[in-house]
Structure 1
Amino acid sequence: MSTMTRTGSTGGPASAGAATAEAGRGRGPRLSGMNWLVWRQHRAAYWTLLVAAAVTTTVMVYQRQQMMVYLDQYGSINGLKDGWEEKFTFQQPLSMASRLIGLAPVLVGVFVGAPLLAADLENGTAKLVTTQSASRVRWLGTKLGMTVLLVAVCTTAVSAAFTWWWSPVKSSQYALDWSGAAFDSSGPVPVALTLLSVVGGVAIGMLLRRTLLSMVVTLGFTVAVQVVWSYFRMSLGNIVTVTTDKGVGDGTSPDVPAGAYAVDEFYRTASGDLIGWGSCAEATEKATEACLDKAQVVGWSVDYIPVSQMSSMQWLGASILLALTACIAAFVILWGRKRLV
């Protein structure tokens, strides 16, 4: 009896201390319930995104520091002096980084978005949702919400790093043309394009219910989005027109801001009409001059979009892309609520 009493009295404090230590280790932000289940299921894809974003961001920050060491010799961001382009060697790294960011919506949409629901539907594990206490909407919302949040954080970090790296030479087309790859690699555009690709891939996987087929269709979807966007993005800007009346010879070109995107240019006649600049592309210089005289050409008319509009164009375009993403996400929730299995 006494032995049992001593054992009990000794074990009581020890057990209490162990419980306290265990409780202490369990404190702090930790995933639980449905959040833990979704993370556990897709942890390989999620960790890949996080590591890739961290490595890419670190490399861009390093490249930016190296570039600023060079630019400091020419006035840095306070105003670059003439001649800084002569030994500027960062065009290729900037171009490669912009291409890598441009591939992100395709890769993430295919390898993260498409299998998110398609794998569960193909393997039959989605049927377990209907036998558990958690509703389909909660399950769908958690999988979609956690994935969207993680993708948004990763792409925002990469986009911010690239924007910071490229901004000192933003106004110069020598470093990187802002109307092309740079437009899709900086600001909010990479985030919006990637989210649209991911959520679109989720919807495709939900409808097709086959992982490989969903990935193939998502690849076509993301490429189509990129192509349509490339034709659409510059229409978001407000065209500025500048005209001259000093002829069309040497030194008569109108003054256009540095880095401006030239939309089109025309010959301007005495009556104010515009004709295509190639309409007098004759075989000889004398014939060209005769054509210009006959058409009464007096100068140029140039349509362009200044680089100062880039930020507003990006936010407008990103808003449209995010609105489409929200519509697709709502479709996924509404469809999956009743027709998931």
Structure 2
Amino acid sequence: MSNLTKTSAGPNGSTASPVSPVATRRTRGPRLSGVTWLIWRQHRAAYWTLLAATALSLAWIAYQRTGLMDYLAAHGWPDSPDKWLEGMGPYSAEFQKVGLGLGFIPILFGVFLGAPLLAGDLENGTAKLVTSQSVSPVRWLAAKLGISALVVVVCTVALSVQFGWWFGLVKNADPGRGWSEGFVFDNTGPVPVALSLFTFVGGLAIGMLLRRTLLAMVVTFTFAVVVQVVWAYCRLDLGNIVTVATNKGINAPPSGLPDGALEIDRSYATGSGESLGWSTCAHEASETARDACVQKADIVGWSVDYLPISQMSGMQWFGASILFALTAAVAVFIFMWGRKRLV
């Protein structure tokens, strides 16, 4: 008998079936299968591109932070602010430039990942082919949404942590460094994750409804830009404004503003408790006329409304929770629509 067909005998003389090397390799670790494998293979180019771009961005942020650390250490930080603050311009400009670039990530996720994800399959008939097999529309949608959302979360969480690590150094060196601006606020904490997920799921829903890839991408771009504009407009409303005032005259500045506080508004206070605009008496040409105007208006002091930097984290989580809730609502709509009307 040929050695290729022989089987080994067991302890009791029985024979054991040969073990295939392929089967051995397949059982060594978890492997994708079924609809999960199909979706990963279908969109693997986009997924790997996003992961690779994220890795490059993480490396660049780490490089920039290292350069800033070397500069601060060489100029006596934190003991000599007059030395290291003067030369921080190039490092702050690079920080702002990277932050502005990262601000486009939610738009990119919505336009290039969310919009074509279902629209392409609905347009070329792949969705009908897949759902005509043993895969239900709900299961197919869940796999599509779940795998892609996981990639979005992994990329944005990594970028948020890395950029926040860099911002922590800038914040400690110069507390007034624009924490409320979009290039900082929208790229740290949970905000980039929430914005990216919302635009991605919104693009997915738009593609499902329009069923045309190019049209869905154009509409999703408009949707993502509107989301960014509305978010920027409402960002400061997420915090609780703090007011500090003085009644010792207009030349006595109010005390108690912490480092990094964002000034919202200034106003004059009268003896009766009324607030007057900051332009009151500003039109007077001479100091004597201005003093007379101040006395006539009964101005006894002034007040400042501000947001402390200590509220940054709470504002971010509050805004992100709203975006997460909207994302969940859109996802529920996708499953309810797709269960009966997908194909």
Q: Secondary structure at the match of 1:90?
A: helix
1:110 pairs with 2:104:
no
Q: Which amino acid is the alignment partner of residue 335 of structure 1?
A: W
* Structure 1 residues without counterparts, runs of 5 or longer: none
Q: Is the 8 A contact 1:172 1:258 kept in 2?
A: no
Alignment-derived partner of residue 87 in structure 1: 87
Contact 2:110/2:221, CA 8 A, preserved across alignment: yes
* Pair 198,340 (structure 1): closer, same or farther in 2 beyond 3 Å: same
Where do 5+ consecutive residues of structure 2 fail to align?
A: 9-15
CA distance in 1, matches of 2:87, 2:192: 30
What residue in structure 2 maps to residue 276 of structure 1? 277
Once residues 7 and 41 of structure 2 are traced to their aligned partners in structure 1, the CA distance between those partners, rounded to angstroms, is 36
Q: Give the conservation status (yes or no) of the 8 Å contact 1:269–1:299.
A: yes
Match of 1:29 in 2: 30
1:286-320 CA distances to partner (integer Å, 9 max, x unpaired)?
Answer: 33332212111111111111000100110111111
Find out whether 1:285 has 2:286 as its counterpart.
yes
In structure 2, relative to structure 1, the CA distance for the partners of 1:221 and 1:18 (3 Å cut) is farther
Separation in 2, partners of 1:152, 1:11: 52
Q: For the Cα contact (< 8 Å) 1:260–1:305, is it kept in 2?
A: yes
Matched residues in 2 for 1:130 and 1:10: separation?
43
Indicate how the Cα distance of structure 1 residues 165 and 80 shifts in structure 2: closer, same or farther if over 3 A, else same: farther
Q: CA separation in 2, counterparts of 1:253 and 1:177?
A: 22
In the TM superposition, what are the counterparts of 1:172-251 in structure 2 within 5 Å? 176-181=177-182, 182-249=184-251
**1:311-340 CA distance string (max 9 Å, x none):** 011011111101100100111011000000
Report the equivalent of 1:119: 120
Deviates more, 1:31-40 or 1:253-262: 253-262
Aligned to 1:306: 308
More deviation in 293-302 or 111-120? 293-302
Paired with 1:142 and 1:112, the residues of 2 have a C-alpha distance of 14
Aligned residue pairs total 331
- On the 8 A contact 2:263/2:306 being kept in 1, the answer is yes
SS at match of 1:207: helix
Q: CA deviation at 1:258?
A: 1.4
Matched residue SS, 1:185: coil
How far, CA to CA, are the matches of 2:285 and 2:309 in structure 1?
A: 37
Query: SS of the residue aligned with 2:268?
Result: strand
Report how far residue 70 of structure 1 moved. Answer: 2.0
- Give CA-to-partner distance per residue, 1:63-92, whole Å, 9 cap, x none: 11221222234665xx55422211113111
Q: Which residue of 2 aligns with 1:137?
A: 138
- Name the aligned partner's letter for residue 319 of structure 2: G
Tell me which of 316, 319, 322 is aligned to 1:320: 322
Q: Match for residue 10 of structure 1?
A: 4
Matched, 1:148 2:149: yes
| Amino acid across the alignment from 2:336 | L
| One-letter amino acid matched to 2:4 | T
Q: CA RMSD in A?
A: 2.1
Amino acid corresponding to residue 86 of structure 1 in structure 2: E
C-alpha distance in 2, partners of 1:24/1:241?
Answer: 69
The code of the aligned residue for 2:291 comes to E
Residue deviations 1:83-117, cap 9 Å, x none?
A: 22111131111111111111001111100000000
Q: Residues of 2 paired with 1:92 and 1:191: CA distance?
A: 24
- Letter paired with 2:211: R
Return the alpha-carbon distance in structure 2 between the equivalents of residues 336 and 37 of structure 1: 19
Amino acid at match of 2:181: G
CA distance in 2 between counterparts of 1:280 and 1:62 reads: 51
- Give how far 1:255 is off: 3.9
2:50 matched residue in structure 1: 49
The Cα shift of 1:19 comes to 4.6
- 3-state DSSP of counterpart to 1:300: strand
Q: 2:131, 2:140 within 8 Å by CA — same for their partners in 1?
A: no
Task: Write the distance in 2 (CA, Å) between the matches of 1:248 and 1:35.
Answer: 68
